[in-house]
């Protein structure tokens, strides 16, 4: 899961990591597309919205971008799970729709949460979802629904208590406004033939200690990240909700100090499996445990570049891929696994059509899409600081039977090593 709501990642970065996922047999990309930080640094809504253009962030993905990314994901058999986070994490709405937000502090932040006592709030959300849901052909939709407010904060909003009783009966509690909102969105998502996902916050009062009157449909898939409100992983599967292990331990956080994992790749590989969650374990054979993933959160989005993030998550991608299939480990110890991941597996091959930025691969790795050298006049070899070291003419470039790019020196001796390569030719200016 990539938090593009708070940190915008370029289309090319997303595509690169779709290829990385496919190369490592990961098959679901959770695309977190809206989030907020504060009312003054309010994150974003990262998709073009025509019905409410005022909510679209300056940095956003056009509808063409989205279809391009979906097409690549489809090519690599990756399902995209889009997440637009409601009814919390909504302070990105402050500038355009302050009237739809609760003004008092929730979870320590003003204008964080939607005011679910207003019918106009529901109308607004439905208008957005009816436009954007059809843009994603996959079978899933993620509502988010995490961190709306702490249970003891509902008392600060008497309008929620009044609205709950009016909608759900005299015994209803303020939390029923939240649960009713989730149920309303679920029905909308189902009308498009999709299954809704949500963070496990939606189960507060459903599993564990029961509170409230409004029920919750058991067909919602749960991303379990924390023991929020007492719903343990076992409680979730006992209630027959499908659960994905998205434990806080598995993630990365971009904080003021940069990007770092909650738990190191070595610890994950050595001590975790698909069923080990932050707050309890499940058997990897549990039928309601359907997978695991790791989130990349951006609490301080400017504290790390997307290049730094890509470098940081390299081993986690490979470790989670190993753990997520619950298959026998390819190596008994992390050191051996790390060597295999770095020297044998390496990065995903980059099709020539998508090469736009310089990287440092080993020579002789596959460069798919290059089937002849006729379009290349030369290859410029750069040193690792990016400065020109040598220009190799096209006659010294060959493609072997495995579609691997090889460079020969003047004595026709194969040269190998770590290089930055810039291809020059007919309409070509690509780096590899």
- For the chain, domain boundaries: 2-345, 352-431
Residue with tokens 């067909």: 219
The neighbour count for residue 390, using CB atoms within 10 Å, is: 14
DSSP state of 50: S
- CB neighbour list of residue 188: distance below 8 Å, 6 or more residues apart: 126, 129, 130, 133
| Cα 38 from Cα 148, distance rounded (Å) | 14
CATH topology of domain 2-345: TIM Barrel (3.20.20)
Give 159-166's long-range contacts (Cβ < 8 A, gap of 24+).
Answer: 159/115, 159/117, 160/116, 160/117, 162/117, 163/116, 163/117, 164/213, 164/214
Question: Which residues pair with residue 196 across a beta bridge?
Answer: 141
Element spanning 264, H or E = none
Angle subtended at Cα 136 by Cα 130 and Cα 141, rounded to the nearest 5 degrees: 75
| Cα 63 from Cα 253, distance rounded (Å) | 28
What are the pLDDT tens digits along the chain (432 aa)? 999 999 999 999 999 999 999 999 999 999 999 998 765 565 789 999 999 999 999 999 999 999 999 999 999 999 999 999 999 999 899 889 999 999 888 888 888 999 999 999 999 999 999 999 999 999 999 999 999 998 889 999 999 999 999 999 999 999 999 999 999 999 999 999 999 999 999 998 888 778 888 889 989 999 999 877 667 899 899 999 999 999 989 999 999 999 999 999 999 999 999 999 877 889 989 999 999 999 999 999 999 999 999 999 999 999 999 999 888 898 999 999 999 999 888 888 765 444 433 333 333 333 333 333 444 455 555 444 445 555 666 555 554 444 445 555 555 444 434 344 554 444 433 334
The neighbour count for residue 212, using CB atoms within 10 Å, is: 21
| Cα 145 from Cα 183, distance rounded (Å) | 11
| Cα 147 from Cα 89, distance rounded (Å) | 7
The neighbour count for residue 151, using CB atoms within 10 Å, is: 15
């Amino acid at each position: 899961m990539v938090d593009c709501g708070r940190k915008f990642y370029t289309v090319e970065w997303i595509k690169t990591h779709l290829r990385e996922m496919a190369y490592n047999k990961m098959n679901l990309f959770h695309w977190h597309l809206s989030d907020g930080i504060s009312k003054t640094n309010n994150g974003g809504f990262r998709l073009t919205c025509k019905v409410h253009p005022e909510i679209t962030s300056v940095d956003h993905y056009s509808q063409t971008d989205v279809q391009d990314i979906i097409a690549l994901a489809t090519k690599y058999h990756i399902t995209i799970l889009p997440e637009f986070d409601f009814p919390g994490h909504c302070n990105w709405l402050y500038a355009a729709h302050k009237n739809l937000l609760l003004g008092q502090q929730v979870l320590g932040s003003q204008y964080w949460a939607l005011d679910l006592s207003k019918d106009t709030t529901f109308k607004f959300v439905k208008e957005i979802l009816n436009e954007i849901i059809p843009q994603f052909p996959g079978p899933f939709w993620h509502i988010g629904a995490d961190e709306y407010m702490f249970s003891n904060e509902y008392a600060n909003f008497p309008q929620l208590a009044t609205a709950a009783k009016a909608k759900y009966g005299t015994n209803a509690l303020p939390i029923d406004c939240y649960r009713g909102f989730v149920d309303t969105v679920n029905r909308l998502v189902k009308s498009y033939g999709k299954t809704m996902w949500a963070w496990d916050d939606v189960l507060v009062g459903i599993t564990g200690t029961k509170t409230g009157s409004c029920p919750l449909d058991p067909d919602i898939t749960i991303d379990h990240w924390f023991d929020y409100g007492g719903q343990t992983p076992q409680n979730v599967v006992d209630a027959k909700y499908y659960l994905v292990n998205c434990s806080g331990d598995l993630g990365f956080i971009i904080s003021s100090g940069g990007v770092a994992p909650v738990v190191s790749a070595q610890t994950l590989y050595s001590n975790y499996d698909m069923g080990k969650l932050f707050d309890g374990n499940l058997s990897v054979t549990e039928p309601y445990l359907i997978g695991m993933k790791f989130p990349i959160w951006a609490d301080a989005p400017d504290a790390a570049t997307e290049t730094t993030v890509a470098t940081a998550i390299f081993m986690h991608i490979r470790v989670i891929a190993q753990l997520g299939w619950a298959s026998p480990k390819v190596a008994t110890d992390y050191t051996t696994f790390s060597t295999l991941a770095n020297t044998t597996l390496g990065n995903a091959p980059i099709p020539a059509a998508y090469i736009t930025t310089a990287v440092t691969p080993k020579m002789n790795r596959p460069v798919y899409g290059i089937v002849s050298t006729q379009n290349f006049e030369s290859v410029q070899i750069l040193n690792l600081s990016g400065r020109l070291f040598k220009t190799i003419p096209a006659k010294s470039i060959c493609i072997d039977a495995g579609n691997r790019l090889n460079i020969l020196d003047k004595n026709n001796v194969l040269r190998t090593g770590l290089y930055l390569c810039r291809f020059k030719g007919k309409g070509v200016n690509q780096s590899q």
